[in-house]
Amino acid sequence: MSASFSRLEFLFISAQRAVTQTVCGGCRRWRQLPVWSQRRALSQNNTIININNSNTEKLVRNGDNKKTVICIEGNIASGKTTCLEYFSRTSNIEIVTEPISKWRNVRGHNPLALMYQDPQRWGITLQTYVQLTMLERHLSAASAPVMMLERSIFSAKYIFVENLYRSGQMPEVDYAVLSEWFDWITTNIFLPVDLIVYLQTSPQTCHERLKQRCREEEKVIPLEYLESIHQLYEDWLIRFTSSPVPAPVLVIPSDCDLQKMLHRYEEHRDKILTVSNL
């Protein structure tokens, strides 16, 4: 693989080859790893380093097995920004926010606003780009021992894509294509998560906060949408009845005002930053 290829170009070329390969016994094929240690590594110059002879290795950026990854999950307006701002004061944490500015401007287009206006038409457009940009976030080089992500590639699929599909606003073929891409990514790329912090907030509280912060794209979001997202999060992280959960879950009730929430973050600080204590 030439070093002139970008990391994501390599990943998509690999995916295309994996799809087109036959499944005969003599052909190489991608499959789920039996253990995390079987993988390929991406070096700093985006070339591939083969660290063992297995054909079932995952792709991983150099050093990804050393950093701690914490995902902050929750509904729209559940308090994720406040949580991230609180932990940003800690020197050994790198905060990685959702790339909303990218979703609002793709070469002059705003797929985020288009999706809220007409989800059946623009849902797959936005969610394909969300999946790509969240993958970039997961693979970003770590500048600190702990990386704290706002949401994850997992909630993008298990919550927001799932909601579009279940509500009848995403055609089955679009859902199938997104699912195939997601399955390939999570099967073949090492995306470790050490802890999920779930900010459990009622849809009613989220709706009130939405009205207060007045983001242009969010003005059209009804309470019913927030209720649907809430139920999907509860199924995933509380009841464990829907999709696989990639890490231990710490639940923080988040219907409180700002001062009480800051106090709760302080209470849980050591538990969050020392994942092995869970």
Neighbours of 37 (CB within 10 A): 12
What is the CB neighbour count within 10 angstroms for residue 140? 14
Tokens read off for 208: 């009130």
Pairing verdict, β 39-42 and 249-253 = unpaired
Which of 57, 73, 98, 150 does the annotation list as catalytic? 150
Q: Please state, in angstroms and rounded to a whole number, the distance separating the CA atoms of residues 71 and 219.
A: 26
* CA–CA distance, 27 with 53 (Å, rounded to integer): 16
If phi over 0 gives left and psi between -120 and 50 gives alpha, with beta otherwise, what is residue 82? Answer: alpha
3-state secondary structure of 35: coil
With beta carbons less than 8 A apart as the criterion, state whether 111 and 125 touch: yes
150 annotated active-site: yes
H or E stretch at 50: strand 48-50
- Please list the active-site residues: 150
